[in-house]
Amino acid sequence: TSPAADEGSIQQNISELTALCTSLQRKYSKLMSKFQAQEEEIEEIARVFTSMDAATVLAGETNVPTGSGFIPTAGPPATVISTGNEVGPTASLIVRRRKGKEVMVESDTPKK
């Protein structure tokens, strides 16, 4: 093949690769945008849950608002097995992770 033909082929390959790269960048941007929106929604749900009383949530007396509707908190009643020892509410710490950092959140949930 002639040098001119080789150069034309190389230019065609460069054009195709540039178009592919542009397409992948657009797809990446769209996915990152979706992930960011989901992360913000998850953070909002976490804020709502940490501000609610655990007993209220577990009793199903509230719905958790999200950007796409509500998450009902009611569920089937839990089975309680009596051990003969009384269990009272105690303060416990919940550890949740956010971008590699641990955040301590105090919660007043019954501990067994």
pLDDT tens, position by position, 85-102: 555 555 454 555 555 555
In a domain, 92, yes or no: no
For 105, phi then psi, to 5°, come to -125, 125
Contact 72, 63 (CB under 8 A): yes
The pLDDT tens digits for 31-40 are 999 999 999 9
In a domain, 98, yes or no: no
Domain count, the chain: 1
Structural domain boundaries enclosing 80? 3-87
pLDDT of residue 1: 66
Kindly list the distances between the CA atom of residue 108 and the CA atoms of 35, 81, 90, in Å, as whole numbers in the listed order: 32, 21, 6
Mean per-residue pLDDT of the chain: 72
